[in-house]
Every structure is written in structure tokens, then in C-alpha cells.
Amino acid sequence: MNENYLDKIKWNEQGLVPAIAQDVNTGKVLMLAWMNREALQLTVQEKRAVYWSRSRAKLWFKGEESGNVQHVTDIRLDCDNDVILLMVEQIGGIACHTGRNNCFFQQLQVDEWIKVEPVLKDPSILYNK
């Protein structure tokens, strides 16, 4: 496969680019994560979201522990070539490690963050902790 597409991306100083995962069926933004070149290559090859975990400093195959895999249906690059948008089918309906559908579950109300999305599955069950 021609990998010139990787050279079009404006990678940051750490060799990463932010990647937004959006549900292909609902249009809801599920999460934001980071990708390096290898993560994007694997995502393209496997049609499954693979990210770079900054906290663990390793590749992160979304759903490898929880089973909540993201099947990728489309990949877009923004106008500045510095943000990836993944259109995904979220298996299991849970994208967030907190057991929620998405990572954006806190809403600013007046001057505090209120959790407005329910936990769908206890994280200790998802990650066998």
C-alpha cells in the first residue's frame, strides 16, 4: 500500500496527531485519542481503531481489554492536516473507560461539571479489575 498519505499529516513534536472517533450511525462524538504513524497504518490495514497510549507509551488496540472494539468505516483528515476523524461502528455501545457510551459525559452547568450520561457497564467488569 502507498504510505505517502502518512507524509501529508502534520505530526506534533512527539510524532502524534489527535484522532476523533465519531459514531457512524448517530453522529455522536465518542472520544479523542492520539495516533502515531504505526497506529494509523494499523488502523488503515485492519479497519479497526488503533491508538497510541501516551500514559502507557504503547499501541492501544481499542477494545483489546473491554471488547468494545471500534470498526472503522471512514477516515478523514481536517483542512490543516493535523486532526484525524474516524467514523466508527462502536461495538458494545461503550467507548469510554468509565463504562459510558462516550467520553464527553460531563456538561458545564453554571460553574460546575455535571455528569449527564449514564454508566452503561461497571468499568471493573469491563476491565476485570
pLDDT digits (tens, 9 = 90+) for 53-62: 999 999 999 9
Rounded Cα distance between 88 and 120, Å, is 19
Q: Is the predicted pLDDT of residue 129 greater than 70, yes or no? A: no
45-57 mean pLDDT: 96
Residue 3 has pLDDT above 70, yes or no: no
Per the CB < 8 A criterion, the answer to whether 59 and 49 are in contact is no
pTM of the shown model = 0.92
Average pLDDT of every residue of the chain = 95
- Please state the rounded mean pLDDT for residues 13-26: 98
Domain 4-93 fold: Ubiquitin-like (UB roll) (3.10.20)
- What residues contact residue 111 under an 8 Å CB cut-off, 6+ apart? none
What percentage of the chain has pLDDT greater than the value 90?
90
On the 0-12 / 13-18 / 19+ scale of CB atoms within 10 A, 120 is: middle
- Given a cut of 60, whether residue 121 has pLDDT beyond it is yes
